[in-house]
Each structure stands twice: as C-alpha cells, then as structure tokens.
Structure 1
Amino acid sequence: MSISKQIAERPWILAVGVSLIVVIWMASGSIGSSGHVASTTLIVGSTAGPTRVQISAQRAERIIRYINVYGQTAPARTVEISSETEGRVVSVDAVRGRPLKKGAVILRLDLRDRKARLAQAEASVAEARTSYEAQLKLQSDGYVSATQIAETMSRLESARTELIRAKLDLEYMVVRAPFDGVLQEREVEIGDFVRAGDNVANFIDNTSIIVTGTIAERDAQFVQVGEIGRAKLATGQEITGRIRYISVVADQATRTFTVELEVPNPDGRLPAGVTAQMELPGGEALAHKISPSLLTLDADGVVGIKIVDDFDRVEFFPVEMAVSNQAGVWVTGLPESARIITLGQGYVAVGQTVESVYDQSDTALANSEAGTEQLQ
C-alpha cells in the first residue's frame, strides 16, 4: 500500500507527524537559546559560583574634619542712632552708603537758645563760686556757721551740674558717627523736628563681616573659638576668618548652637546680608578617600559603603562626609582597614559571599597579603 493511500485512509497519522516535527523544532531552538544564555551568564558571573566584584584595599588617613554650616553675613556692628535732645534739623552732612570716620558729622539741629543757656549756666557757676569763697573767709573769723557754708557749697554744685547739662545739650545739637563705619540709612531730612529718643540714622561697622549660622548639637563639641574657618558667599567670593563665638545654650526649638565667623573687611568689599556656606574645623578624624560613585543607600535610605570582610562576605557601613573637594571625598564610619567594593556593589547584597578581585592599582598590596598568608 502506498504512503499516500495510507494517509488518506488514516489522516490522524499526518497530524501526529506534524506535531512531532513542531516539538523537535522548538526543542532545538530552546537548546540554542540555552547555550546563548549560558555564554552571557559566564560574562557576568556564573550562577553556580559567587559573584565576582572588584575591591580596593584602603587604610584610613588622619585628616581635619570640616563641618558644613549654612549661614548669612552681617556687619560686625549695627546701631540705631537716636537724638539726645529736641530740635529741628537744619543740615544733613552725610550721604548714605558712604564711609565715615568716628566723630564725623551726620546732621545738625537748630541751636536756638542753647548758647544763651550755656552762658547763663556759666554765670551761675561763677556767682556761686564767689559766694562760697567769700563765706569761707568769713567762717575763719567766726561770722558764718558750718550750716551756711554747706548750703553755699550745695548751690555751687547745683550750678556746676546745670553747666554740664547745658554743655551736653549744645553738643547734642550735632549728631556724629559713633565709630568708623558706613551710614546705612538716614531717617530724617532738613526741616524735620526730632525729640529726644527719636531714631535719626542707622549706622553699621563693616570693617569686619560676621558670618552667622547654626550647628547641630552633635557637632558643637568639636568646634572651638579661635579656630580658622572658611566660607563661600552667594556672590562667589571665598573668605577666611576666625571663629569668635559659639553659644553655650542650644536653641530650645531647633536644638542647635549659634556660631559666628569673623572675617576682616578693611576695604568694605564683602557684602552683608548674603547667604554663605561655612566650613568649620571639627577636629581630627580617621577617614577614607573614595569616589562619590561608591556611595550607596541601604533599605532604610542610609548613605554608606559596601565592603567585603576577610571571608569575602559583603558588609554595609553607614558613612558621613568629612571633607569634600575637587580631589575627592573623605568619609568616616568605615573600619581603619577596609576592602571597599569599587565595581559591582550594585549587584550584591549584605551577607552575600562573593569572589573579590583586587583593583589593578592594588596588585602590589594583594601580592603582599598573599605572601603573608603563605608565611603563616
């Protein structure tokens, strides 16, 4: 019987044959695909063995730790100048924003009868002194009692007091700069009438600038008055100064301590009222220099570094940045000697055993450790 006749009589044979061909074809495809996957897996690391990571053996360096503090600049001194007497403004001698020497005239008030009052006070003192001296002579002859002498002396002292007041009142008619500085604002103009206690000007001392910020309570113990700190202003200016003040009591709301950095500003070039980032020395610390790319986060979002222990198990250590500059980042929190994972840290988990391979720059160190193991 021919094959075509058998298929015609038994059509199920054709169906079975086609199915077998499809199964064999799919099986052959799976084998090829599996071989490709195995090849790819070998490149990353065999699933049968530990994952391979690159490490760098490092020892901590002793460095000066710096604490970053955000703050704001302010003049060394700011005062509100008030009038010591009453009167009408008759002249304004100072211009806002201009530097003034101590004693320079800011404005003048109308003298009115101040000079006449001074002359009257001087005459009263002269009269009282003459009377007192005359009674002293009479007392020696027994014509004046001690009580009369005391009364005359009291009148002389009262006259002297009034003379001092008259002199001061005359001086107060001229408002002067209290120290070397800059007239920031003037509150009055010519023709204004001022009374004793009225603010007439705002005066600042900008011969030095104070950068003020707050530090966390955990860092306050490391910052010392007199240490040299630095700051970068929002204007781009980089400055250096000395820590002049640290509060001894923390703010009740924020639990932070106020710190002030004093920076010389003899030419008035540094502006006040701008934001600044301070770097304050916080004592010595043992730190590792790393690339910022090695920093990673744990499940709780804590920043840290992955290392391997002596048994090639992965460990995670939270770290804090001690110094950051163009040369790199120094972090604290790692053991003094650490084998830091420099490649592959994103593919391994804490507690996992890995195959560690030293970075090429650590070849000499790796050979040294191998030699030590052989001696043991």
Structure 2
Amino acid sequence: MLDEIRDRPARADEQTAAPAPRTLAGPAAPAGTAGGTGRSLWIAAALVAGLVVWMASGMWGAGDAGAPPQDAASPSSRPVTVASRASQAAMITRYLVNQAEVAPRRDVPLRAGIAGRVAELPVAKGARVGPGDLLVRLDPGDRPARLRRAQAEVARYEGDYEAARRLAGKGYAAAARERETFAQLQAARAEVDEVEEEIANATIEAPFAGILNRLDVERGEYVRQSDELGRLVENDPLVVEVQVAQQNIAHVREGMEVEIAFVTGQQAKGTVRYVSANADRATHTFLVEVEVPNPGGEVPSGISAEARIPAREVMAHFLSPAILALSTDGELGVKTVDGEGAVRFRPVELVRAETDGVWVAGLPEKIRLITTGQGFVRDGDRVRVVETAEAAAASGVLAGPPAALPADAAGR
C-alpha cells in the first residue's frame, strides 16, 4: 500500500516530462502562450491571399487568351468592298421634250351648194380620193329647165339688140332703144350664168387628194343649202402641234429638224414650219408647228405624240439607272470614289433617257462610279475598290442586305 502511494508521483512526473509530438508547422508552442496563436493566424492569412492571387491570375489569363490582338482591325473598322468603273463624259445633244397633238394638213367640210335631195353617193366613207373625184350628186330639180329658158331669152335679146343697134346707126331708131335691148340681153345672160352655177353646185367634188373621213347623208335625203355633208382629210404631210414653254422658245426656229415619236410606236422626223410670235395668255406657251412627211397616210391624225426638239450641246455621262441614289435631302445623284478611296456623293441632272440607260450632267469629265455596293456606303466612308467581275464574289456585302452576311460576321 505504501509502495503504491510512492509510485503515483513518479508516474505523474513521467507524464509531465514526456516530449510533445512534432507537427508540420514546427515545434509546438507552450500551451496557453499568445505567440503560437499569432503565427497560426498569419499562416492562414497568407494561404488565403495566395489562393485569391492564384484565382485572379487564372481569370486574367483566360480573358487574355480569347481576346484578339490589340492591333487587329474590328469588323466595323474594315472598309466595305465595292465595285466601280471609270466613266468618261461625252458631248451629247440636249432635247426639249414636249407632248404634242397630230393634226392633218387639211381637214375641210363638204357642204351642199344648193337645196335638194341626195341623188348619188359614188364614194364610200373612208375611201381615198383624188382631186376632182365626184363625192356627192344632188338632184338639180327644175334648174335644167330654167337654164333652157334663160338661154332662149338670151337668144331673143341678142336679136333685138342687134336690130336696135343697126336702126340706131341709120337714124331710124333712138339710141335709148339700143340701150334698152342691150340691158335685157345682159340680164338674160346673167340668168343663164346663175342657173348654170346652181346646176354645177349640185355636184360636190374633192378639192384635193385625201380621205373621205366623214359622210353624213344617205341617198334620197333632203339637204338645205350650206348643210355639211361630210369631211375630207389630207394626212400627207401631217402637222404636229407643239406647245413650247416661254423659257425654251429661244431654242426653236423655223426650218430646224425635230424628232417625233407617235403614240402608235412609229417614229419620224419633221421640220418646223411655223413658230407663233405671241404666247398664249393663259398658259404662256408658244405654238410650234412641225410638218412631218406621211407617205401613204400610214400614221393617222388626231393622235398624241412626243416631240424632241434639239436645244444645245452638253457634257454628260451615260450610266444605268440602278446606279442613281438619293441623298439624305432627297437630291438625285451618284456615288463615286476619289483618289484616296473615299466615297463622294455627287448631285446630277437628268439630260436624256435611252432604252438601256440615262445621260446625266453635273459631274466632272472623268470619274470613278460605284456600280455595286453603293447602298451600303455613305459620303466620306473609306472603301476597298475592286473591278466589277471580281466584286461579284468579293464579299457578302455585295451579295445582299446585312441579313445575308455570314453568321460569324453577324455575331461580331
């Protein structure tokens, strides 16, 4: 018992004196000391800081790996590819283009010379006739009988006058008797002339070669003197009547050649035969008549036409209407490329239209026109210029609107 009591302090001392186990951080600090706790906090803080730095460096590295080089051009800064061609101005004639009306050279009414019934219509309406051809014959009525009576009166008074003249010459008759018989003879002759004229007026003949354009009577119909029976029209040559504005009349003169385009599709050339000396008060336009040959009457009168009167010579460029563009102010023009590769909008004035293009004025003598891609560039933009053949496959910009661009380009 006493031995066990003596042994307990010894084991306690042994436990106290036993060495403490080693740790990875170094020798253990005495229990309950403040120095060990401080070093642990510093170590933890250092580990956290290192972890943060490592994560941040990974994020920066990942961002830098996907970014393009700083000197690489972005899609928005790359110049658009356009096609262009050189254009040289040429001297052309500028025309005054006016609407016109086509009239016949002559259009006259056919009127009855006497009252009577229509006896004969030898020519049908619409027929071509020559000068002197019979068109209408009226029944002369009693005029032939009156003519015979008047002729008999003439014969009688001729005898009376001759006898009175011989007697007066011998002194057997007064001079008054001679004068009286002479007056009766003259009256009888006048009656003959009058009846002969009435009989002649019973027939209506063509005064010139033309077309019987209208015939408004039928055989047996009664007409009065001066009634209109029809109309005779001469269409060779035609007369094209043009109204020219007062500001342009100075360019028109008699004898100049004019191009005429009929509404029927036929074309011809004519000569100015008349220029009015006085403008119309209401419209302030001058009447100009152009005589156009029409052999055979192929072109009818009464239709509309377009007259092209040469005015002056101008320098102009020939181009496709598809090249024309509008500015932000609505001004008509074209887009060109200057020597530095920049787009320039240039206003133009339409001079003349052809079937395959238009002539425009207001441009320098030599220019480079943008022919493809002009809808995607503005004045002042820098562009890459290629020839038309190369531009067909150069870029999606030329192929269509932005919706047709490649997917990667659209994403950028």
TM-score (norm 1): 0.71
> Would the alpha carbon gap of residues 153 and 303 (structure 1) be closer, same or farther in structure 2, given more than 3 Å must change?
farther
Task: Give yes or no for contact 2:102–2:305 (8 Å, CA) kept in 1.
Answer: yes
Per-residue deviation, 1:68: 1.7
How do residues 112-261 of structure 1 correspond to structure 2 at under 5 angstroms?
Answer: 112-145=141-174, 147-261=176-290
Q: Does 1:43 align with 2:61?
A: no
Q: Quick one: distance in 2 between partners of 1:39 and 1:177?
A: 84
Q: Quick one: distance in 1 between partners of 2:269 and 2:179?
A: 64
Number of equivalences: 333
Task: Give yes or no for contact 1:109–1:174 (8 Å, CA) kept in 2.
Answer: yes
SS at match of 1:221: helix
Per-residue deviation, 1:57: 6.8
SS at match of 1:131: helix
Higher mean C-alpha deviation, range 168-177 or range 338-347: 338-347
Q: Quick one: distance in 2 between partners of 1:225 and 1:243?
A: 5
SS at match of 2:131: coil
Q: Quick one: distance in 2 between partners of 1:74 and 1:94?
A: 24
Task: Give yes or no for contact 2:109–2:230 (8 Å, CA) kept in 1.
Answer: yes
> Would the alpha carbon gap of residues 232 and 95 (structure 1) be closer, same or farther in structure 2, given more than 3 Å must change?
same
Q: Quick one: distance in 2 between partners of 1:87 and 1:33?
A: 110
**1:319 is matched by which residue type in structure 2?**
E
Match of 2:369 among 342, 354, 375: 342
Instruction: Please identify the structure whose Cα radius of gyration is greater.
Output: 2
Per-residue deviation, 1:193: 0.3
Q: Quick one: distance in 2 between partners of 1:106 and 1:34?
A: 99
Task: Give yes or no for contact 2:317–2:361 (8 Å, CA) kept in 1.
Answer: no
Where does structure 1 lack aligned partners over 5 or more consecutive residues? 7-13, 46-51, 361-376
Q: Quick one: distance in 1 between partners of 2:336 and 2:174?
A: 101
> Would the alpha carbon gap of residues 117 and 299 (structure 1) be closer, same or farther in structure 2, given more than 3 Å must change?
farther
Residue 316 of structure 2: aligned partner:
288
Q: Quick one: distance in 2 between partners of 1:35 and 1:285?
A: 54
Q: Quick one: distance in 2 between partners of 1:172 and 1:291?
A: 66
> Would the alpha carbon gap of residues 100 and 38 (structure 1) be closer, same or farther in structure 2, given more than 3 Å must change?
same
> Would the alpha carbon gap of residues 24 and 184 (structure 1) be closer, same or farther in structure 2, given more than 3 Å must change?
farther
**2:130 is matched by which residue type in structure 1?**
K
SS at match of 1:236: coil
Q: Quick one: distance in 1 between partners of 2:212 and 2:94?
A: 40
Where does structure 2 lack aligned partners over 5 or more consecutive residues? 1-39, 46-51, 389-412
Q: Quick one: distance in 1 between partners of 2:184 and 2:333?
A: 83
Q: Quick one: distance in 1 between partners of 2:140 and 2:239?
A: 39
Per-residue deviation, 1:339: 4.5
Q: Quick one: distance in 1 between partners of 2:105 and 2:201?
A: 26
Q: CA RMSD in A?
A: 4.3
> Would the alpha carbon gap of residues 57 and 208 (structure 1) be closer, same or farther in structure 2, given more than 3 Å must change?
closer
Q: Quick one: distance in 2 between partners of 1:202 and 1:27?
A: 97
Per-residue deviation, 1:357: 8.5
**2:369 is matched by which residue type in structure 1?**
T
More strand by share: 1
Q: Quick one: distance in 2 between partners of 1:113 and 1:224?
A: 57
Q: Quick one: distance in 2 between partners of 1:315 and 1:163?
A: 88
Q: Quick one: distance in 2 between partners of 1:305 and 1:91?
A: 70
CA-to-partner distance for each residue in 1:330-357, whole Å, 9 max, x for gaps?
A: 44555xx5444522877555xx799998
Per-residue deviation, 1:290: 2.3
Residue 306 of structure 2: aligned partner:
277
Residue 36 of structure 2: aligned partner:
none
Residue 319 of structure 1: aligned partner:
349
CA-to-partner distance for each residue in 1:136-189, whole Å, 9 max, x for gaps?
A: 323333445555544443333332222211111111111221211111111110
Per-residue deviation, 1:41: 2.6
Task: Give yes or no for contact 1:307–1:339 (8 Å, CA) kept in 2.
Answer: no
Q: Quick one: distance in 2 between partners of 1:27 and 1:162?
A: 128
